[in-house]
Structure formats: C-alpha cells, structure tokens
Chain A
Amino acid sequence: MTQTLHSPLLLCLLLLTAWGIVGLAGLIRPASVAFAGRTLFPLGAVCGAAVAYVAATSLFAPAEQIVLSIGLPDLPVHLRLDSLSSAFLFLLGAAATGISIFAAGYFRRGEGTPPGLMCLQYHLFLASMGFVLLANDAYSFMLAWETMALSSYFLVTTQHRIPEIRSAGFLYLLIAHIGAIAILLSFGVMQGGSWQFTFDAMRAAQLDPAWATSAFLLALFGFGAKAGLVPMHVWLPEAHPAAPSPVSALMSGVMLKTALYGMLRVTFDLLGEPVWWWGLILLALGLFSALYGVIFAAAQTDMKRLLAYSSIENIGILFSGVGLAIVFAGTGMRIAASLALIAVLYHALNHAFMKSLLFLGTGAVLHATGERNLGRLGGLIHRMPWVAWLTLVGALAIAGLPPLNGFVSEWLLLQSFLFASEVPQAFVNMLLPLGAALLVLAAALAGYVMVKFFGVIFLGQPREAALQEAHDAGIAERAGLAWLAVGCVLLGLLPAQVIALLSRVIQPLGFSGLPLDDGSWWLLVPLPQRQISYAPLVFFAVILVVIVLTIAAVRFFYHQRVRRSDPWDCGFGRLNSRMQDTAEGFGQPIRHLFTPFFAMARELPSAFDPAPRYRVVIGDRIWRGLYLPLGRLVRRIADAVAWLQQGRISTYLLYSFVTLVTLLALML
C-alpha cells in the first residue's frame, strides 16, 4: 500500500479526482458565494499546489503507466506519466494555485452562472486539463480534451445574458470542435493500420512519410486551432476577454499550453522522427502569429482583448520554437534542437505565470472600476498600489526584460536561432536569421504594448472622476497575484536550476539535454563550447547595490528636499486628464507603420465641426477575408441540401431504408 502511494501517477490521479470532488461540492450550496469562495477555491488551490509538487518530484522518477478498466467495455483508460507530462502538470498546478487563491476573493454575487455551478465548471476544467496531460490513448485523450473544451465554454459564457458573450462562446465552441475533429483524424492516421488507439501502438507504428506528414498537418491544424495560431486565432480575442478574469487567466495561461503539449507529444513522441521541413511550416506560422498578435495587441483599447492578442503573440513564439526544434532535429543537430525545446518549455512556463498574473491584474481593476476600456482608466497606481506593482512585475516580465523570466526564454530561443547557420540546407540557413529578427521585433513590440498597457491603466491622471473611488484588491486577490509574481521573479533569477530540470523533461523525447556547466549556481552557461553566459542575479545585485549607493550618496553629499507642484503646462494653464495620450493615440504609430495588417475604418472630424467625433474601428483582415466567405459558403451549401428536410416522417424512414440498403450492398 505504501508502495502504491509513492507512485506519482496515482497521486496525480487522486489529486485530479479531488479537484472534481471540490467542484461537485459546489453544488451543495450553489447560490452561496461565501461557501465557494472561502472554502472550495482555497481547497482547489491546495490541490493545485500538491499537483505542482507531485509533478516536480516525478521528474526524477521513471515514466510509469496504468490501465484503468473504467468507461466503455473494451476501451480501458490508459494513463501515463512521463517527464513531459510532469512538466506540463507542474505548469498547470503552479499556475492554478495562484489563480484559485485569487478566485477565492474574486467572485461576487450576481455574475450570471451561480457561484456553486461555476465552481464545478472551474474545477472540472482544471481536472480535465490534467487528464489531457496524462492520457495515453486517443480515446481518453479526446474525452478529456472535449471535457476541457465544454467546461471552458460554460465558463466563457458565465454572463450568458449578454448577447456578445454568447456569440463569443459559440465561436469558441465551433472552432474548438473543428480542431478536435482534425486531432481525431490525426490519431486515426497515426494508428497506422493496427486499429489500436493507444499511444504505445502509435509509437510502434511505422508510417510512410506521406501519411506521417498528413498526420502532422492534421495535428498542426487541430492543436493550432486550440492554441490560437493565426489564421485559426479569431476565437481567442473574443472568448478570452468574455470570461471572468480567473478563467481568462486559466485559458490563456494554461489551456493554450495543453495545445502545445499535444503538438510536442505528437511530433516528437508519437510520430518518432520529425521531417525537417515540417519545422519550416511551424516557424512561418509561429513567427507570423507572433507579429500579428503583438501588432493587434498594440492597437487594442480593451485591456483584456489586448492581453488576448498578446497571448497569440506568445503562442506564436512557442510554436516557432517548436518549428526550430523540428528543423534542427530533422537535420541531426541534437544539441541545437535540445536548446530550442528547452526554450519552448521555459517560455511556456513563463507565459503561464506572467499572463495569468496580468489577466488577474485586469480582473482586480475591473472589479475596482467596472471598466475594461483603456480610455476610461488611468492613475490607478495611487488607488491600487498592490495590484499596480504586482502587475508591473508581470508586464516587465512579458516584455522580455532582464532580470525577469520572460527574458530568459527569449534569450535561449535566440541562442538556438544562432545555430541556424549550421543547417545544411542552403537558403534555409540564410532565412532563419531573418526569423530571429522577426522574433526580436515581436519581443520589442511586446515591450511597447506593455508600456501602453501598464502606463494607460495605472499611470498618468485618472481619465474618469469615478476612478478616485477605486479600491485596492482584497487579501486573497493580493495573495494570488503575489504567488504568480514571485514565480515570475524566481523563474527569472534562477535559470540554471530551471534548465537543469527541463533537461530531464526532453529526455523521453530522445534528446540528451544540455551539457550544462554545473560550476557556479548563479551563472547560466547553457552551452560551454559557445562560451555564452547569463547571470540575472548579478544584474539584480548590481542594480540594487547601485541604487542603494546612489540614494545614500545623494543624501550624504546633497540633500533630500522635495517640493510638490503642478505638472509643467507650457504656460497653457488648463491641462486636464483628457490631454493625456489615449490608448488609441498610443497605438497610432503601430497603425501607421503596419497599415497593411489592419482593416481600418476611420471617421475624422473636420476642423469646423462644432461637435467633433473621432472614431476608429479596427478590423481583422483574416476575419473578413477568410471566415466571412467561409461562413457564406457553409450557409449556401446548407441551403442547397435543405430540401432533404421535408418534415414528413415517411420521407425520413425512406432515407434510413436507402442508407441501410446501400450499406448492405457495400458490405456484401
């Protein structure tokens, strides 16, 4: 008995079930905010921390699997915990802990779905994500995958009385299902004629290149749709902002990573050796998504939509890293591929922390002000210092600034791009460095976006009088934000330790990990032969020492007198808060520079207009160019076949009869 309890897989299973039970307990008192908030969400947070702990310890244990004979007859559930699953389970647990703590203080009365029911959906969502990571056969994978999609759909439509939210939810569900069909088909190809849908059978199947490629492309379509890769991204900026903030945080921070997990699992594990040019497709899609996402993020005026577009950017970065790893692995450059994969995993972990932190920050702002529009916020750092400073950590991290965590993974990815010149294929080795430049452009634009995000919400003067009454977040919300912020800082300051762990993760995928230099714990030397090193702790320490010394020196040699006065008004004398840059104004250089990306409709008032109105509507060219024609096509086809629906039962019986006869004829 003690033996089995030490099995991390069983422990994980137990904890995921516990999440389910916590969720079900919400139904005991469905209308009670206090019961869900004070009891159940903290319990869920404890489970999350436990999942993270178990997953972290299981990195050191060998992979294990079990077969549970539950569910349909002859379709037992296969579960497997290897280090890749562990890494993503850790991500799930660690991020969910912070989010659940925050959620404990977040939900208020009267937000559509009753709190108890939402508690059930929320914990079911968490548990199903865990099962996606553990599944070892296509059947249980799809079951968990669909549960994940459905439970998150209900969470997105929490405020189901608002028509926009309903249609956002519908779009999400639609694209999730089209993606799921592609994943199902991909599994169908990968079983390779054995008709065994366990992942073990898929690993053993020998596919010929054409079939392997089609399986890869189907998986790319399916997982790409879930991840929000351009051009399958349209649901993401609708659905993520529609959900309550903790749910947005889970969806952006964690759920998108399950798609990444699926992509890694299929490409490097189930399909065996990837073909190098698959990577180019992923790289192109990923880099385009990164740029597309960040450019649209810069133009947004709704703070949650801005973050949703920023998620598209980060998904793009992640998938381009996977693409790079495929190119390297396919051309036999194992070390470079390891580096790229570690960068991807690191960035996934980072993004889980920083994006959750930012979404929760917007949640706190939303609660305090009731406002999502950047044009009506401002100056909140005075009223909500806790939220502001903790959100600043997330903003700086996601902008990729050292010594925080976002920088480390981008640095690793750039370092792996530097191997590009060794790729044997001509031209590819020249194009790849340009990919690195695109990546840096996206990362630098992310800095722009985050200055806009933080500056417009928290800095400057309040743009509305009502903001003066905004209140800071409660204890639970602060604790949740702080958990995630500390995660960002630690992941940033201790990269050598994190990478040593991530090196274990990629071993089951056939990579040896990096030849890390264990000499000094404070210095990251990912590739000793390249002599590159990075020591964020030195950055941190030197900056800190210099700041302290400078402050001390200024006080010692001079004085510390400070006088408060009005801001300088150039002699105009009637400055007001409307004269600050708006969110539109801050996005204007981006709209100007990247005009071809936008479908923009503008109304510019004439100079003599007594009541001037300025309006700009920014549309998505892909939505207009791809989705609307597709939708019209589907409708036309549906209209064309509608005559089949006669409404008479005898006709329908005839259809059944014809079908049966045809099937019989085919079988015989």
Chain B
Amino acid sequence: MTALFDWLAQILGILAAVLAAPLFLGWVNQCRAWLQNKSAPSILQPYRGIRKLFHKDAVIAANASQLFRLAPYMVFGAMVTAAAIIPSVATRLPFTQAADAIALVGLFATARVFVSLAAMDVGTAFGTLGARREMMIGFLAEPALLMIIFVASLISATTALPRISELLATQSLALYPSLAFTAVAFTMVLLAENARIPIDNPATHLELTMIHEALLLEYSARHLALMEWAAALKLFNYVCIGFALFVPWGLATSQAPLALALSSLFLGAKLVLAGAGIALIETVSAKLRVFRAPEFLATAFLFAVLGLLVRLLLGT
C-alpha cells in the first residue's frame, strides 16, 4: 500500500513539475516586465504560446534527418526524467535514488548534446553557430557545477541530492559560509545554463546575440513547443536543484500526504522568491559578449573553489 502511494506521489510530483514549469517561467517574465516598468504579459502566457504551437502544422527543412525530429522528444524526456529525480517536494520518493547530483549534470549534458546536434542537422550558419556556443557554455559551466557539488558533498559526505537536503534541512539552522560562496557560484551557473542574461537574452531574436534561439531557429509547431517546454522545465529543475542544495527547509522527508502538501506550499513560496530574484538579476545586469562568457563562468568556478577552501581550511 505504501509502495503504491509512493509511486502515486512520484507520478503526481512529475506531472506537477511538468505542468508548473511554464507557470514559473511566466512568473519570471511577469516580474521582469514589472521591474522594467512595462505592462506585464499574463502569467499564463507561456501556456498560450505552447498551446498555439501545438496547433500549428510542423514545417521541417527539406534536408532534416530523423535525428532532428527525435531531438525534441529526447530533450523533453531528459528534462522530465530530471524532474523525477530531483527532490523538489519529498526526499524519499522512488526515483530520487536513480541518480546523484553528478548524474543529473550528465543528464542535462545529454539534453544539451541532442539540442546541439539537432541544430547542426539542417546545416545553416545559425544552427551550427548556436550549437558551438551552447557546447562552449556547457564545458565552461560543468567544472564550476562540479565544484559546487563537491562542496555540498564535503558537508554531507555524499553526492546524493536527497541526502544532502535531509542533512541540511534537519539540522538546527546552521550557517555554512562555504555554502554561501557556492550559492553565488550556482546562481551564476544557473543563469548561464538556462540562457538568461548576462549570457544570453531570452527576450531577443537578434541572431548575433543569441544562443538558445539560434539552436531552435529551424524548429516549428509541436517540436518547437516541446523544446520551449523543455527549456522551461530545465529552468525549473535548476532552481529546484538550487533549493535542494542550499535552502532545503520545508522538504518532506516522509510520504505523509500532509507533509507533502506542506512541502509543496514551501516549494511554491520559494519559487515565487526565486523567480523574482532571477528577474531582478536580469534587470540590473547587461548581456555580455559571447567571449566574455568564459570570464563569467570562471568567476563562478572561483567562487566555488573559494567555498571549497573555506570548507577545508575553516571547516565551516
């Protein structure tokens, strides 16, 4: 019976994450519009966009291969898998032990490689340009991400996200300076990996400044909808990883329905704050040139190393 309930909770959790992801994106966009003194689109705008795209006829380049059509499903599948694994609401669900933090990074890398390969498939200048920039951001971000995981694992002696969260959540409010440094690093990686300002501008379609848009240039209709949905889900997933590593308070460590409901409320509140925070960062910073991206991510790496040294030298 408990096993059945576990699985039910797991599947509900996945569905909730998949359905809530565009809402979170809508919230970020709304906040950003407010901060920039514009009239904001509805918070439901991402859903409308996805719905509209699903209704359209798919137009595919004449020389696109099967890989091009497979990639959106693959990327969406990878993001849903990640959503199943990340302990966003509860730490003891069945799938949470399928991967630790490093394997999650690997899963995101799989999605990235498929997006890039699909972008190269049609063989236009923009697609390959986007692919190479996306892969560049990827290899710059991954070492920083690993250092972040390293620091978290030094505190809890494991790289399993649910165990890290449990340890931090159940302790009486202990402050780790090392985690503060790594949280900064993680925020920078999150912005870079999700094509936000200052690495990429999600609001433009100006070809020469973009990474994410260049990758999706050839996609239309349902394929584009899946890609956009997957991107929203990726942002959601990253934010949830951030919560699990740095602010796990309120996570349910049991499967009692009440605990899960309470934990969902906590998650909602944290998402509202995080969305506003991302919007604020995007409002106060300017987009960097592509070749300044390495400096940005090297800074993130150094912050993570600083966290590591603080942890090793001071033990805090």
A550→B109 contact, CB < 8 A: no
A547→B106 contact, CB < 8 A: no
Residues of B within 8 A of A411 (CB): 102-103, 106
How many whole Å from B16's CB to the nearest CB in chain A? 15
A565→B100 contact, CB < 8 A: no
Residues of A within 8 A of B226 (CB): 550
B201 within 8 A of A: no
A538-574 CB contact bits vs B (8 Å, 1 = yes)?
A: 1100111011001100100111011111111110000
B138→A440 contact, CB < 8 A: no
A270 within 8 A of B: no
Instruction: Pick the interface stretch among A163-171, A203-211, A452-460.
Output: A452-460
Residue of A nearest to B62 (CB): A564
B135→A378 contact, CB < 8 A: no
B270 within 8 A of A: no
Q: How far, in whole Å, are A452 and B135 apart by their CA atoms in the complex?
A: 10
When the two chains form the complex, which single residue of B65, B81, B125, B142 contacts A579, counting CB atoms closer than 8 Å?
B125
When the two chains form the complex, which single residue of B58, B77, B123, B142 contacts A459, counting CB atoms closer than 8 Å?
B123
B274 within 8 A of A: no
Given the interface pairs A433-B150, A543-B74, A567-B61, the reply to whether A451 lies near B131 with Cβ below 8 Å is yes
Given the interface pairs A402-B107, A429-B312, the reply to whether A533 lies near B97 with Cβ below 8 Å is yes
Residue of B nearest to A407 (CB): B106
Given the interface pairs A459-B65, A461-B63, A542-B77, the reply to whether A444 lies near B124 with Cβ below 8 Å is no
Q: How far, in whole Å, are A568 and B76 apart by their CA atoms in the complex?
A: 24
**Which of A400, A542, A544, A580 gathers most chain B CB within 10 Å?**
A542
A546→B76 contact, CB < 8 A: yes
A284 within 8 A of B: no
B35 within 8 A of A: no
A430→B77 contact, CB < 8 A: no
Q: Which of A365-391 contact B (CB under 8 A)?
A: 378-379, 381-382
A567→B103 contact, CB < 8 A: no
B132→A589 contact, CB < 8 A: yes
Residues of B within 8 A of A475 (CB): none
How many whole Å from A588's CB to the nearest CB in chain B? 8
How many whole Å from B242's CB to the nearest CB in chain A? 19
Q: Which of A412-447 contact B (CB under 8 A)?
A: 414-415, 418, 421, 429-430, 433-434, 436-438, 440-441, 443-445, 447
How many whole Å from B131's CB to the nearest CB in chain A? 6
Instruction: Pick the interface stretch among B24-32, B112-120, B168-176, B253-261.
Output: B112-120
A592 within 8 A of B: yes
A567→B106 contact, CB < 8 A: no
A454→B117 contact, CB < 8 A: yes
Residues of A within 8 A of B150 (CB): 418, 433, 436
When the two chains form the complex, which single residue of B55, B81, B98, B106 contacts A558, counting CB atoms closer than 8 Å?
B55
Residue of A nearest to B126 (CB): A570
Residues of B within 8 A of A434 (CB): 305
A139 within 8 A of B: no
A534 within 8 A of B: yes
Q: Which of B100-154 contact A (CB under 8 A)?
A: 100, 102-103, 106-107, 109-110, 112-113, 116-117, 120-126, 128-129, 131-133, 135-136, 138-140, 142-143, 146-147, 150, 153-154
When the two chains form the complex, which single residue of B98, B102, B217 contacts A568, counting CB atoms closer than 8 Å?
B217
A575 within 8 A of B: yes
Residues of B within 8 A of A532 (CB): 100, 158-160
A460→B60 contact, CB < 8 A: no
A450 within 8 A of B: yes
A534→B136 contact, CB < 8 A: no
When the two chains form the complex, which single residue of A379, A418, A535, A566 contacts B159, counting CB atoms closer than 8 Å?
A418
A401 within 8 A of B: yes
Interface size on B, residues (CB 8 A): 77
**Count of inter-chain pairs, beta carbons less than 8 A:** 237
Residue of A nearest to B116 (CB): A451
B196 within 8 A of A: no
A400→B109 contact, CB < 8 A: yes
B110→A441 contact, CB < 8 A: no
Q: How far, in whole Å, are A569 and B217 apart by their CA atoms in the complex?
A: 10
Q: How far, in whole Å, are A101 and B312 apart by their CA atoms in the complex?
A: 53
A623 within 8 A of B: no
B143→A444 contact, CB < 8 A: yes
A441→B142 contact, CB < 8 A: yes
B99 within 8 A of A: yes
Residues of A within 8 A of B77 (CB): 542-544, 546-547, 550
Residues of B within 8 A of A551 (CB): 73
A561→B58 contact, CB < 8 A: yes
B84 within 8 A of A: yes
B218-233 CB contact bits vs A (8 Å, 1 = yes)?
A: 1000100010000000
Residues of B within 8 A of A2 (CB): none
B146→A564 contact, CB < 8 A: no
How many whole Å from B214's CB to the nearest CB in chain A? 11
Given the interface pairs A460-B123, A589-B136, the reply to whether A530 lies near B158 with Cβ below 8 Å is yes
A539→B99 contact, CB < 8 A: yes
| Contact residues of A: prevailing secondary structure | helix
Residue of B nearest to A544 (CB): B77
B177 within 8 A of A: no
Q: How far, in whole Å, are A146 and B91 apart by their CA atoms in the complex?
A: 57
B97→A523 contact, CB < 8 A: yes
Residues of B within 8 A of A444 (CB): 109, 138-140, 142-143
When the two chains form the complex, which single residue of A392, A396, A523, A593 contacts B110, counting CB atoms closer than 8 Å?
A396
B180 within 8 A of A: no
B62→A565 contact, CB < 8 A: yes
A193 within 8 A of B: no
Residue of B nearest to A577 (CB): B123
A542→B84 contact, CB < 8 A: yes
Q: How far, in whole Å, are A460 and B54 apart by their CA atoms in the complex?
A: 26
A276 within 8 A of B: no
Q: Which of B193-210 contact A (CB under 8 A)?
A: 207
B120→A538 contact, CB < 8 A: no
Residues of B within 8 A of A407 (CB): 103, 106
B95 within 8 A of A: yes
B55→A533 contact, CB < 8 A: no
Given the interface pairs A534-B100, A547-B73, the reply to whether A565 lies near B61 with Cβ below 8 Å is yes
When the two chains form the complex, which single residue of B97, B124, B135 contacts A575, counting CB atoms closer than 8 Å?
B124
Given the interface pairs A444-B139, A542-B80, the reply to whether A563 lies near B294 with Cβ below 8 Å is no
Q: How far, in whole Å, are A518 and B59 apart by their CA atoms in the complex?
A: 50
Q: How far, in whole Å, are A57 and B183 apart by their CA atoms in the complex?
A: 50
Q: Which of A240-261 contact B (CB under 8 A)?
A: none
B252 within 8 A of A: no
How many whole Å from A250's CB to the nearest CB in chain B? 28
Residue of B nearest to A559 (CB): B57
Q: How far, in whole Å, are A392 and B301 apart by their CA atoms in the complex?
A: 31
A531 within 8 A of B: yes
B218→A567 contact, CB < 8 A: yes
Q: How far, in whole Å, are A440 and B109 apart by their CA atoms in the complex?
A: 12
How many whole Å from A582's CB to the nearest CB in chain B? 9
B262 within 8 A of A: no
A538→B110 contact, CB < 8 A: no
How many whole Å from B136's CB to the nearest CB in chain A? 5
> Beyond A437-B147, A532-B158, A533-B97: 12 further Cβ-contacts under 8 Å?
A399-B109, A411-B106, A433-B150, A444-B142, A447-B113, A448-B135, A451-B117, A543-B80, A562-B58, A563-B57, A567-B63, A568-B217
Complex A-B, nearest 9 residue pairs according to Cβ-Cβ distance, in ascending order: A460-B123, A581-B128, A444-B139, A455-B120, A461-B123, A538-B98, A546-B77, A543-B77, A444-B142
Could you write out 21 A-B pairs with CB less than 8 Å apart?
Answer: A378-B123, A400-B109, A401-B109, A402-B107, A407-B106, A430-B312, A444-B140, A448-B139, A451-B116, A451-B135, A455-B128, A459-B120, A461-B123, A530-B160, A531-B163, A538-B98, A559-B57, A562-B59, A563-B60, A579-B125, A580-B123
